[in-house]
Amino acid sequence: MVGDEGGTEPSDHRASAVPRPAPLDVRVEDHHGAAVVHVRGELDLSTCEQVETVLAQAEGANPPTIVLDLSGVSFMDSTGVRTLLQADSRARRDGRRLLLIAPPEPAARVLRVTLLDRRFEFIGDLSELA
């Protein structure tokens, strides 16, 4: 806000109007020999590095299958798409199977619009791992 003397005053209402990014929770677990990477929150520029770190740890154990559980992803931008594509490329290179549990809308829409719903292999939940 501009004061009477032309200076600026801090505005508390602006800070509260800016939405805070949703926290990201990424964890990995073993499910009958498959590494399952659970991702919850927003998969975007500010969080992809965290996902990449956990994926690298999972890949380092050299499991035959990695499942990316995206069922808790509320938002995905192009950086998130790139993260998925890079994980897929590494899996193909290393002879590993990469499965995705699809995210809810609107993140699922990103996969459909980019036609990546045709590239990735999806499962409904972990009970489909056999």
Q: pLDDT tens across 45-94, in order?
A: 999 999 999 999 999 999 999 999 999 999 999 999 999 999 999 999 99
- Percentage of the chain lying above the pLDDT 70 cut: 82
Q: Return the pLDDT at 3.
A: 46
CATH classification of the domain holding 29: 3.30.750.24
Asked whether residue 14 is domain-assigned, the answer is: no
**What's the mean per-residue pLDDT of the chain?**
87
Chain-centroid distance, C-alpha 32: 23
Asked whether residue 63 is domain-assigned, the answer is: yes
Asked whether residue 9 is domain-assigned, the answer is: no
How many folded domains does the chain comprise?
1
Using pLDDT thresholds of 50, 70 and 90, give the confidence band for residue 2. very low
pLDDT over threshold 70, residue 22: no
Which residue range forms the structural domain that includes residue 68? Answer: 20-128
Asked whether residue 86 is domain-assigned, the answer is: yes
pLDDT over threshold 70, residue 20: no
Q: Which two tokens stand for residue 37?
A: 């990477």
Asked whether residue 3 is domain-assigned, the answer is: no
Task: Please tell me the pTM assigned to this model.
Answer: 0.81
Asked whether residue 15 is domain-assigned, the answer is: no
Strands across the sheet containing 34-43:
25-31, 34-43, 65-76, 97-101, 121-123
Are 79 and 45 in contact by the 8 Å Cβ rule? The answer is yes
Read off the pLDDT of residues 33-49 as tens digits, 9 standing for 90 and up: 999 999 999 999 999 99
In whole angstroms, give the CA distance from residue 41 to residue 23: 6
Asked whether residue 4 is domain-assigned, the answer is: no
Q: Which two tokens stand for residue 82?
A: 């790139």
Q: Return the pLDDT at 68.
A: 97
Asked whether residue 11 is domain-assigned, the answer is: no
